[in-house]
Structure 1
C-alpha cells in the first residue's frame, strides 16, 4: 500500500497572509487539524490548531488584534513531506521519528495530497484485514527459510483463504506471524496447527 492510496486529495490550504483567526475558524469548520500554507503552487509552511492556540496565548492581549497576525508569523517552515509512491510504512516511520501528525504529499514540487495519523491507522486496518469478516491466528515460527510457506501451505491444504498476513521478527531467532483467515472457526484451526507442531499464540488453547 502506497501513500497515494490513503492520502486526502484535494488538499485544503491557506495563504501565508491568512490571519490566525480566519485559519482557526477554517480548521473548525472543516473538522481538520492541519493546514498546509501555499504561496502560488509552492508549499511554504504548515500550521495546526495547536500552533494557533499556542501563538495566540503568547500574544499581547492588550494589542490591537492578537488573532489578526498572519499565519506566516507562526507556521512551521521546512516542512517534512512525502511522495505519492512512498510506502505507507515509510510514511508512518517518518512521522514517528519526527513526532509530527501529518505529511503533505508533493509530486514534482506540487502539493497533491496530505496524509495524517488517522489515515495511517485506516491503512493499518486495511492491511490487517480486520475490516472484513475474518478470524485471527497468531503463530510463532522459527526464523528460517520455508517456515512461512509451511504455514500458508497448511492453511491452503485445509481450504482456508487468507485475508492478510503480517510478520515481524522476535528475539531468539523467531518470527511472529499474524494471519487473518476467512473462517470464524479459529479454535479448531488452531488445534489442528498445534497437532502439526506449530506454536500457536492466538487463539489460546482451551482448558478442556
Structure 2
C-alpha cells in the first residue's frame, strides 16, 4: 500500500508569520489537528493543536483576558512550530509510515514529492483506513487464523487448499511474535464459495502440522461507539 493512495491531498497551510490565534481559529473551524507552515512558498514546519496548547498562557496565570488575547495575537506561528518536520515521500509505503509514527510517537506526517514539494498529509486515521481496507474485514470476510511450521511452502499449501475449495482470498497476514517457537501465525480472510465453510474448515483441521487458532466472521453490526 502506498502513501499516495491514502493521504489527504486537500491541504490547508498557514504562513510562518501568521498569528498563533489565527492558526488556532483555522484548526478549530476546519476540525483539524495540524497545519503545515510555509514561508515564501516553501515548507518551513508544522504546527499542531498540542503546540498551540503549550504556547497558550496557563489558566493559572496572573494575566487578564485582554493581555492573554494580545499575547496570542502577537505570537507568530514560526515561534511555536516544529521546524523541519518528519516527512515521507508519496511513493513510500503505508506500512513504513505506520512504523515511523509508532517510533516517533507522532500522529501525522508531512508528505512530499521528489522535488520536496508539499503534496499531502497522512494521519493515523488514514493509516487505519488503509489497513482496514487491505484486510477485507469490511466486506464480511471469513477469517481463519492458523499456526504452521515456519518452513518454505507452508503458506502455499494453505493457499492450495483454499483454491481447491474455490475460496476467494482477500488478505493474508503473517506474524511470528505471537506464534509458538519455530512456527508462524497466518491470518487469512476469504470469501467462501457459496458461503460454505464447514467442509473447508474440516479439511484445514486435518492438515498435519497446521493448527487453527480461531475462525469466524467479525460482528460489525453493533460496533461500540463513544458516548
TM-score (norm 2): 0.84
Aligned twin of 1:181: 190
Instruction: Determine the C-alpha separation between the residues in 1 that align with 2:6 and 2:37.
Output: 21
2:51 maps to: 51
Confirm or deny that 1:66 pairs with 2:39.
no
Match of 1:80 in 2: 86
- Give RMSD over aligned pairs: 1.8
Tell me if structure 2 keeps the 8 A contact 1:186–1:203: no
CA distance in 2, matches of 1:99, 1:136: 31
Which residue in 2 is equivalent to 1:100?
106
Change (3 A) 1:61 1:191: farther
Query: Structure 1 31/199 Cα, relative in aligned 2: closer, same or farther at 3 Å?
Result: same
| Equivalent runs, 1:1-208 vs 2, <5 Å | 1-58=1-58, 61-62=63-64, 63=67, 65-68=70-73, 69-107=75-113, 108-170=115-177, 171-183=180-192, 185-186=196-197, 188-197=199-208, 198-203=210-215
TM-superposed deviation, 1:140: 0.8
- Which piece of structure 1 moves more, 168-177 or 48-57? 168-177
TM-score, normalised to structure 1, is 0.91
Matched positions, count? 204
Q: Per-residue deviation at 1:49?
A: 1.0
Paired residue secondary structure (2:35): strand
CA distance in 2, matches of 1:23, 1:140: 51
**Cα shift readout 1:156-194 (whole Å, capped 9, x = no counterpart):** 001101011111223512111111101355555333210
Identify unmatched segments of 5+ residues in structure 2: 217-227
